[in-house]
Each structure stands twice: as structure tokens, then as C-alpha cells.
């Protein structure tokens, strides 16, 4: 029993430290590849590197010297032990994808003789429906942000503009905090966004968002410091606002709507996509707005709309 527990408890501090000492340069080079050549965000790179460290730590626990000794059976065993320990299907699928990316790169750069992950199959992720606000809840949330901005606190004015733009455009929170002042065209009511994979796209937004951004730009100078740079949204100390500050603002305002789900900024993205489709927007148009590489990713929002339609039908129709 103790030996079995020992096998399951693979990720020990000693093994991890040994992996970092022996493979630090390899991990650093892979990180550079993800950033410079594949355009992955810092958040995505951290996830990839964490998964690869987990794999290399597992390999070390099995007595393997490094990735060059990994075989398909080792990868399957690695994923199998995670499944046995109760890891979510989405976690296992992500780690398999990270391993494939890493090993393909390692073979391509001559660091391993062959890629053992070519026939590695991981469980498909569960397609869970994202939480969304009802249209009335979204309106009340933005009305609340507008009322709070009347106190003339520049942060509250900023928060109103942030929420309006997130809901109007459906952009990701990472894309929002990366915006510069020049990325917004108030005349055309469009914003230039740098998305995943360093792909640029132009996204429209409506008049309420334009007015909120205009109000923010009128008070932005009150927070500007010498190191503020061109960042569109600033924090209290004049630096570029970060995703944590945006999440905090969204959660804080939603807390005043007791019947609304507690969603973060990504929930506003989900809500924007769902409401666009409910309003008759074309699926391809929504895909382009959201910056999805695949239409299949966008199609989950049609499932949200159908799911909500079915619930409304069951509640309202006498013959449901």
C-alpha cells in the first residue's frame, strides 16, 4: 500500500529540483520557442512549461535520464496515472497537448532522436456550456457601472469603460489590458486587437461603449505617470491595468446583482457571443469578432442559445 502511494506521489520537491537543474536550459529554450516563434502568451507558456516539468519529473521518477528516453508507453502511463488520481479530463487533454508540442519541437531541433507522441491519444475535453448573463442582467450590470462612475473617481470611470468594451466587443481580458490608446478609433467605433498567436483583428463596438471610453479618456490624464506609456487602461498608480484588476471590478459589480451568476471578464465574452447569436448574427461573423481559429469553437454558443431556448420553452409552454 505504501509503495503504491509512493508511485502515485511522483511530483516531489527533490525530483522537481533535479529536473530543473538538469533540464533548465532545455525548458528555457522551449519557452523562447513558444514566445518568439509561436506567439504564445505568458499565461499559456507557464501552463505548457508546468506540464512539461510534470512530464520530466515523472520520467525522472521512472529512472529515465531525459526526454530522449521517453517512449509512447511512458507517455500513456503518465496520462493513465493522472486519470487514476482523479485529474480532470480537460487537464489530461491539455497535458497531452503540451507533451506533443514539446516533443515535436525537441525532435525538430535535434534534441531527441524521434518524437514518441505521434500516436498519443488523450481523452477529449468535456464540452461544458459557458456561464452567461441574461440580456437584462447585462444591461443592469452596465447601468450599475454607469451610476458608480458618476462619483468622479477615475477608476470607476475606467471600470465602466472596461465593462462596456468587454461586453460590446467580446474581446478577451488579456487582449483588453494589452490595448493602447491608438488602438481605439472612436470615430469608426472599432478597436484593433492583438489576439492569440499574435494575430491582429479589428472588432466593432457600439455607441454606449464609445461614450464610456470617451468619458474615460477625459479623466485618464489624472492617473498618468511618467512610466504610464500608451496603455489605454491604467491602474490607480498609473501603470497599465492588469487582468487581476479587471476581474476584481467585474466580480465587485456583479455582487450587487444577487440573481446574476458570478462571472469574470470571460463571462462577459461568453455573454456577448450568445446575445449576438440570439439577435441573429451570423456564426462566421461572431467567429471573426471573437478571434476563434476554428468555427467549432464558436459553435458552442449556439448550444448555449438552444439550451436557454429549451429551458424557456419548458417553463412557459403548457404542453412542454
Q: Is 301 a catalytic residue?
A: yes
- Selected catalytic residue, list 172, 220, 270, 275: 172
Distance of CA 92 to the CA centre of its chain: 18
State how far the alpha carbon of 139 is from the alpha carbons of 46, 129, 164, 204, in Å: 36, 22, 10, 19
How many residues make up the chain in this entry?
320
**3-state DSSP of 204-257:** ECCHHHHHHHHHHHHHHHHCCCCCCCCECCECCCCCECCHHHHHHHHHHHHCCC
**269 Cβ contact list (under 8 Å, min separation 6):** 166, 170, 171, 172, 290
Q: Which of 45, 76, 247, 266 is flagged as catalytic?
A: 266
Catalytic residue flag (residue 269): yes
3-state secondary structure of 320: coil
3-state helix, strand, coil in the chain (%, to 5): 65, 5, 30
134 labelled catalytic: no
| Catalytic residue chosen out of the listed positions 125, 196, 211, 239 | 196
Let me know if 48 is a catalytic residue. Answer: no
Q: Contact at 8 Å (CB) between 89 and 123?
A: yes
3-state secondary structure of 52: helix
Q: 3-class SS at 177?
A: helix
Q: If residue 84 lies in a helix (H) or strand (E), which one and from where to where?
A: helix 72-84
In eight-state DSSP terms, residue 191 is E
Please give the backbone phi and psi of residue 71, each rounded to the nearest 5 degrees, phi first. -125, 165
Q: Catalytic annotation on 95?
A: no
**205 — alpha (psi -120 to 50), left (phi > 0) or beta?**
beta
Of 23, 54, 275, 292, the catalytic one is: 292
Cell of 45: 507558456
The catalytic position among 148, 269, 270, 275 is: 269
| Closest listed residue to residue 10, CA positions, set 101, 72, 79 | 79
Task: Retrieve residue 102's grid coordinates.
Answer: 514539446
CA 283 to CA 274: how far, in whole Å? 10
Q: Is 196 noted as a catalytic residue in this protein?
A: yes
In three-state secondary structure terms, 266 is: helix
Instruction: Give catalytic residues, as residue numbers.
Output: 172, 196, 266, 269, 292, 301
Amino acid at each position: 500500500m505504501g509503495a503504491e502511494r509512493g508511485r502515485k506521489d511522483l511530483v516531489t520537491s527533490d525530483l522537481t529540483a533535479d529536473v530543473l537543474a538538469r533540464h533548465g536550459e532545455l525548458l528555457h529554450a522551449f519557452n523562447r520557442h513558444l514566445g518568439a516563434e509561436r506567439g504564445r502568451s505568458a499565461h499559456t507558456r507557464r501552463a505548457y512549461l508546468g506540464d512539461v516539468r510534470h512530464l520530466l519529473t515523472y520520467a525522472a521518477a521512472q529512472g529515465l535520464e531525459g526526454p530522449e528516453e521517453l517512449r509512447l508507453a511512458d507517455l500513456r502511463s503518465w496520462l493513465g496515472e493522472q486519470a487514476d488520481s482523479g485529474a480532470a479530463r480537460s487537464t489530461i487533454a491539455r497535458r497531452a497537448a503540451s507533451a506533443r508540442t514539446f516533443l515535436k519541437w525537441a525532435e525538430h531541433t535535434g534534441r531527441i532522436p524521434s518524437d514518441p507522441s505521434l500516436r498519443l491519444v488523450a481523452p477529449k475535453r468535456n464540452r461544458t456550456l459557458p456561464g452567461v448573463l441574461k440580456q437584462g442582467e447585462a444591461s443592469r450590470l452596465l447601468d450599475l457601472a454607469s451610476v458608480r462612475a458618476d462619483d468622479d473617481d477615475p477608476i470607476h470611470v475606467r471600470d465602466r469603460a472596461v465593462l462596456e468594451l468587454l461586453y460590446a466587443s467580446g474581446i478577451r481580458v488579456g487582449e483588453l489590458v494589452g490595448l493602447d490608446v491608438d488602438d481605439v478609433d472612436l470615430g469608426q467605433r472599432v478597436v484593433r486587437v492583438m489576439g492569440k498567436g499574435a494575430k491582429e483583428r479589428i472588432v466593432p463596438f457600439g455607441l454606449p461603449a464609445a461614450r464610456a471610453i470617451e468619458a474615460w479618456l477625459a479623466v485618464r490624464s489624472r492617473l498618468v505617470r511618467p512610466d504610464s506609456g500608451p496603455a489605454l487602461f491604467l491602474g490607480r498608480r498609473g501603470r497599465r491595468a492588469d487582468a487581476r484588476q479587471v476581474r476584481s471590478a467585474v466580480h465587485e459589480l456583479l455582487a450587487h446583482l444577487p440573481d446574476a451568476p458570478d462571472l469574470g471578464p470571460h463571462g462577459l465574452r461568453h455573454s456577448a457571443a450568445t446575445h449576438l447569436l440570439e439577435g441573429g448574427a451570423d456564426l462566421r461573423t461572431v467567429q471573426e469578432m471573437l478571434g476563434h481559429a476554428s468555427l467549432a469553437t464558436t459553435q458552442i454558443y449556439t448550444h448555449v442559445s438552444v439550451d436557454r431556448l429549451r429551458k424557456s420553452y419548458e417553463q412557459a409552454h403548457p404542453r412542454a
